[in-house]
Amino acid sequence: MNIEILKSIIDNKKKNSDFAIITNLMTGDISIFKKELPLNKNLENYSSEINDFFNNKKTGIIENSELFIETFRRPTKVIVVGAVHITQYLIDYIKNLNFEINIIDPRGYFASKKRFPEVNVINKWPDEAFKEIDTNESTALIALTHDPKIDDPALQYALKKKFFYIGALGSKRTHENRCERLKKAGFSDEQINLIHGPIGIKIGGKSAPEIALSIVSQLVLISNNR
């Protein structure tokens, strides 16, 4: 392998960049593909297929070719508001998926490194915590505290920043009350309807691990369908 190609692969992995490694299985030639860079001239005939693989996060051989594509996509940033029991199961389910978890909870008793040793935990109110997290439209929010003083500011932030996934725990009645508060805060019905509430796919679960599973399932589904 060309040393410059190897250095580029290592650099892109360190930066958590979105890229793909394209290998010609017949010749052994290797190219780096990035959306923002021109495609190698030797690959132009497969431009559509390469973009399809990349956009759909696929790895494999392009049909009727000798090209093998290995796609690397940066982890999806997920912000969990509330270091509750469900959160512990969420992390267990998510740890082997391509997600980067951040926990916000001003309550130090719940949000401790002892309970969440391998996760970025911010013991601050959402308005302050979000100053420490780089977010964009590819960020997801999961609000779990049931406390409007904590959940509502986070939901408002996520709506304003147009997070691709916004979910909030609570019963239908709890969510109705939440929606009324957001309306009074100036948010439109169209914006409020973007919130998945009650959160999660309906699997009939009642226990903390079952609720966490329903949330992760919904998050993965929506993330893969973007």
CATH number at residue 216: 3.40.50.720
Altogether, the residues listed in the chain come to a count of: 226
Same domain, 100 and 190: yes
Say how far apart CA 49 and CA 52 lie, in whole Å: 5
Say how far apart CA 150 and CA 45 lie, in whole Å: 52
Same domain, 24 and 97: no
Q: What's the pLDDT score for residue 44?
A: 87
Same domain, 57 and 100: no
Global pTM value? 0.78
What region does 164 belong to: left with phi over 0, alpha with psi -120 to 50, or beta? alpha
3-state secondary structure of 33: strand
**Position 36 confidence tier, pLDDT thresholds 50, 70, 90:** confident
Q: What's the pLDDT score for residue 175?
A: 95
Same domain, 115 and 196: yes
SS (H, E, C) 124-149: CCHHHHHHHCCCCCCCEEEECCCCHH
**Position 200 confidence tier, pLDDT thresholds 50, 70, 90:** very high
Same domain, 92 and 139: yes
Last residue of a domain, which of 49, 72, 95?
72
Q: Which amino acid is at 150?
A: I
Is residue 14 scored above 80 in pLDDT? no
Please tell me which residue, 143 or 9, carries the higher pLDDT value.
Answer: 143
Same domain, 66 and 125: no
153 in Cβ contact with 161 (< 8 Å): no
Q: What's the pLDDT score for residue 153?
A: 97
Is residue 9 scored above 90 in pLDDT? no
Q: What's the pLDDT score for residue 194?
A: 96
Domain range holding 158? 76-224
Same domain, 199 and 99: yes
Six token digits for residue 79: 């912000």
Mean pLDDT of the chain: 91
The average pLDDT across 85-104 equals 92
Any residues with CB less than 8 A from the CB of 60 and at least 6 apart, and which? 53, 68, 69
Q: In this predicted model, what pLDDT tens digit does every residue of 118-157 receive, in sequence order?
A: 899 999 999 999 999 999 998 999 999 999 999 999 999 9
Is residue 1 scored above 70 in pLDDT? no
Say how far apart CA 74 and CA 98 lie, in whole Å: 8
Say how far apart CA 94 and CA 99 lie, in whole Å: 7
Q: Which amino acid is at 140?
A: A
Q: What's the pLDDT score for residue 130?
A: 96
Last residue of a domain, which of 24, 50, 72?
72
Q: In this predicted model, what pLDDT tens digit does every residue of 53-77 receive, in sequence order?
A: 888 888 999 998 999 999 988 889 9
Q: What's the pLDDT score for residue 88?
A: 94
